[in-house]
């Protein structure tokens, strides 16, 4: 493996990590919305809430 191949490999790694972190942030946000929805429904079971309408 020459040096140019090594550089290509090291450049690709951080981008993949950033995507993984971004994906985990999205998953955590969805979990928070779901938990908020469950909490709201437990407080006021007569109203219906849409998970897309909730802002965190």
pTM beyond 0.75, yes or no: no
Question: In 3D, which of 34, 5, 15 has the Cα closest to residue 56?
Answer: 34
CA 54 to chain centre: 15
Domain extent listing, the chain: 3-53
The pair of structure tokens assigned to 48 is 């219906």
Q: What is the pLDDT of residues 1-56, one digit of tens each?
A: 565 666 566 555 667 778 888 899 999 999 999 999 888 888 887 777 666 666 66
């Amino acid at each position: 493996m020459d040096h140019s191949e090594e550089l290509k490999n090291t450049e690709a790694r951080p981008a993949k990590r950033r995507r993984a972190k971004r994906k985990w942030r999205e998953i955590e946000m969805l979990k928070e919305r779901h938990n908020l929805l469950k909490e709201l429904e437990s407080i006021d079971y007569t109203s219906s809430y849409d998970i897309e309408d909730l802002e965190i």
